[in-house]
Amino acid sequence: MSADPQRQRPHRARRLTRGRLTWARWRSLLRGGPFHWDAVAPGRAARVASGVVVPLVAGAAGGQLEYGAFAALGAQPAGFVSFHGVARTRVAAVAAASIGMAVSTFVGATTAAAAPLLLVPAVMLWGYVTGLAVCLGPRMSVVVLQWSVALMIAVGIPLGPSEAALRAGLVLAGGLFQGVLVALSWTLRRGTTERTALAESYRDLASYARGLAAGRFDPPPPTAFPAAALLADPNPLLPQAVRMDYLDLLELAERIRASLAALAEHAPDDPSGAARGFAAGTARALDAVAGALSARRADRAALVRELCRLLPAPVVAPDTRWEWTAEAVLGQLRAVGGILTRLDAVSVRAAAESRPGGPATVPVAQDEITWTALTVRANLTPTGETGRHAVRLAVAAGLAELMVQVTGLFEGRWVVLTIFLVLKPDFTSTVERGIRRAAGTAAGAGLGAALAGLAHSDPVGLIVAATITITAAYALFDVNYLLFSTFLTIYIVILLDILGIPGATSATARLADTAIGAAIALIAYWAWPSGQALTAQETFARLVAAHGRYMTALLHQCAHPEQADPARLRSLQGTARRARTDAEAATARLADEPPHPPLTPNVARPLVAAVTRLAHTELSLHTFVLQQATTAGQEGARSRDDARRLDALAAALGTTLDSLAEALRSLRPPGDLPPLRRLQSALRPPSAALDPRCVAITDSLVDATNTIAAIVRRHLDRP
């Protein structure tokens, strides 16, 4: 039997695309690129560089330039950490990095002095934690990486406990000083541009809804929302979680526009005028969304509560032609309210109190500690990409440290440090970082040795040279890794000269050791690559399917609390979390490649954002199911009708996500999907007597699933 030519075509296209991608990557490597010159950040660089320079100046003024250099060693990595997050998240990241670097400095210095062989297990432990932190996103990954960097720098200066504690304290002080500068910068930071653009998008929707209420039933304009282009290239300081929420809000705006367009088709045939009244209520809710997005932080809580008050809106008469269109709009608005509640940390209880006579219709957001712990636990197994990377990094770094000690390699800590910096979960990033790191180190080592030699006896000259080079490194951080590595190497060589390690000797050793470390990193990945070489479409298909299985199991146990199986739920939850971590890594890789539709970064990002929202809701349902299981014996089994309705919704959600997973796998649009909104509405009073929390959670599950379906259908329907 001959193969299906329709199925063969995507495989042939992928082979051709991979060939083009390989040639594109090599051309980029040979050019040292890509270069993102629009990402030069002189203002940010000046602020962060001041956190490094001030300790040096203070140390020189006090006659203890060496102490100032140790404080600068803490401030310099903390400065890179401060690029990740906004407001309190940035300060928390800097504080975590600073404390970890201080501990690492003490451990590295005292272990190198007292028992150098113990550095091998210490390096392996730090390597495993650094590799595992990848599953927590870019911010925590960068934070934990600084701990390993500080450990290896401290190894080069063995000290006794008292002196090591003093140096660790200086590192901590330098890092926390960067945190103070971040906090001071809050007073200078204006409102987020992304929020303003989203507010304008929702105002456009409100204006269209008011037109429907006034009797203008034209379709909505097909132009892109103001936030679309901005969120495709957002502020690099925007934390990943906030960016996901913004993408989710944009996707919901698209869905609300489609629902309002459907309402416009039915409204002319509604003689009662109820559809126009519903449109007017929707316009008021959309105005409240726009107001909450554009308001000052102090005013947002009240506006979110106002949105929650408006959400019940007019009651939709059953059996009208536009009943399910209206239900879709209300579900989408409830999802928007839930995102805003989480985004601005508005009290869900306060929001619920503003809603007439009803509990919250959004699930309670999980605290970050719980979310982090569950994510780490799910990625401990080496079968996933993150777990395998953690083991690979620990073994490679440990073997390199053992080799350095056995051979007595001069300044061998740079070998291990290079492995920490170069070895990544995927091969492409490892190769590119290895080559660019080696080239940048070669250039920086020579230039650094020359500058250190010229200014060796002049503290002022050394401080000026350090200031210029670290400022350039910070400014070029997002521009190009080769340029960044060059200027950072120059700065490190100068700083080590201040600490008494001659620049020329350090530069030569670092050049050789960096080349060895980069080679070991490449060999380590080649020897044990990241498991299955999944295509992007298979990765996203597994993501959707895994969450479908987890959600279906949760709803089944919600329908039958007497059949609770916590162990199975934990297993399904772990699988879903690993799938999401792999999908996030695949999204990052897509962003570094030439676009190959239909799975481009502009598809992957909103898809991961929608699944992340689904995951938060699943976690709420998981908590609810476990609580329900403890009281099942006291309250009795759920009524047969309620269990039947929940089972029907679970089956429909499972079918929907399986269909979407197959659509992603085959790159073909999904067929007809079950009527999720209609099935979920059957769970509301007076149809059912379910716990209001269960009704609220299923409402959020349906909307998140419909969002995923809308993303998949919109992009796979395109030729």
Per-residue pLDDT, 31? 56
**Residue of higher predicted confidence among 409 and 35:** 409
Instruction: Evaluate whether 421 touches 433 at the Cβ level (below 8 Å).
Output: yes
Rounding to the nearest 10 degrees, give the CA dihedral for residues 60, 61, 62, 67. Answer: -30
| Residues 6 or more apart whose Cβ sits within 8 Å of residue 63 | none
**Residue of higher predicted confidence among 321 and 289:** 289
Per-residue pLDDT, 372? 74
How far is residue 311 from each of residues 3, 256, 286, 355, measured CA to CA in Å?
Answer: 52, 14, 10, 8
- Taking 90 as the threshold, does the pLDDT of residue 623 lie above it? no
- Taking 90 as the threshold, does the pLDDT of residue 555 lie above it? yes
How far is residue 454 from each of residues 447, 457, 495, measured CA to CA in Å?
Answer: 11, 8, 14
| Pick among 1.10.12, 1.10.10, 1.20.1070, 1.20.58: CATH of 536-716 | 1.20.58
What is residue 216's DSSP assignment?
-
The predicted model gives 241-269 an average pLDDT of 82
Sorting pLDDT into bands at 50, 70 and 90, what band is 602? confident
- Work out the number of other CB atoms within 10 angstroms of the CB of residue 212: 23
Instruction: Say what the pTM is.
Output: 0.61
Over residues 461-488, the pLDDT tens digits come to 888 888 888 888 888 877 777 787 788 8
**Residue of higher predicted confidence among 361 and 419:** 419
What is residue 62's DSSP assignment?
T
Sorting pLDDT into bands at 50, 70 and 90, what band is 429? low
Residue pointed to by tokens 């960097």: 149
What is residue 218's DSSP assignment?
P
How far is residue 664 from each of residues 424, 603, 607, measured CA to CA in Å?
Answer: 26, 11, 11
Per-residue pLDDT, 88? 59
Per-residue pLDDT, 455? 67
Instruction: Evaluate whether 520 touches 419 at the Cβ level (below 8 Å).
Output: yes
Per-residue pLDDT, 605? 81
**Residue of higher predicted confidence among 594 and 168:** 168
- Work out the number of other CB atoms within 10 angstroms of the CB of residue 149: 21
| Residues 6 or more apart whose Cβ sits within 8 Å of residue 101 | 74, 77, 78, 146, 147, 149, 150, 171, 172, 175
Tokens read off for 563: 């059949």
d(CA 26, CA 431): 10
d(CA 258, CA 93): 40
Sorting pLDDT into bands at 50, 70 and 90, what band is 311? low
Residue 138 belongs to what H/E stretch? helix 138-155
d(CA 571, CA 549): 11
The predicted model gives 434-453 an average pLDDT of 72
d(CA 517, CA 149): 14
Dihedral pair phi/psi, residue 504, rounded to 5°: -65, -45
Sorting pLDDT into bands at 50, 70 and 90, what band is 243? confident
Per-residue pLDDT, 367? 52
Sorting pLDDT into bands at 50, 70 and 90, what band is 360? very low
d(CA 689, CA 708): 29
- Work out the number of other CB atoms within 10 angstroms of the CB of residue 564: 17
d(CA 413, CA 493): 14
- Taking 60 as the threshold, does the pLDDT of residue 682 lie above it? yes
d(CA 230, CA 256): 20
Q: Where are the domains of the chain?
A: 38-188+381-527, 193-346, 536-716
Instruction: Evaluate whether 128 touches 394 at the Cβ level (below 8 Å).
Output: yes
- Taking 90 as the threshold, does the pLDDT of residue 403 lie above it? yes
Per-residue pLDDT, 506? 62
How far is residue 708 from each of residues 9, 139, 531, 613, 660, measured CA to CA in Å?
Answer: 25, 26, 27, 10, 8
Residue pointed to by tokens 């913004």: 246
- Taking 70 as the threshold, does the pLDDT of residue 414 lie above it? yes
Over residues 644-681, the pLDDT tens digits come to 999 999 999 999 999 999 999 888 888 889 989 888 88
Over residues 100-123, the pLDDT tens digits come to 989 999 999 999 999 999 999 999
- Taking 50 as the threshold, does the pLDDT of residue 303 lie above it? yes
Tokens read off for 404: 């350095």
Per-residue pLDDT, 7? 39
d(CA 331, CA 619): 19
- Taking 80 as the threshold, does the pLDDT of residue 445 lie above it? no
Sorting pLDDT into bands at 50, 70 and 90, what band is 337? confident
CA atoms within 13 A on the CB side of 654: 14
Per-residue pLDDT, 104? 93
Q: What's the mean pLDDT when you consider all of the chain?
A: 78
Sorting pLDDT into bands at 50, 70 and 90, what band is 397? very high
**Residue of higher predicted confidence among 126 and 630:** 126
Sorting pLDDT into bands at 50, 70 and 90, what band is 275? confident
How far is residue 69 from each of residues 298, 344, 463, measured CA to CA in Å?
Answer: 41, 39, 10
User: If you compute the radius of gyration of the chain from its CA atoms, what whole number of angstroms results?
Assistant: 28
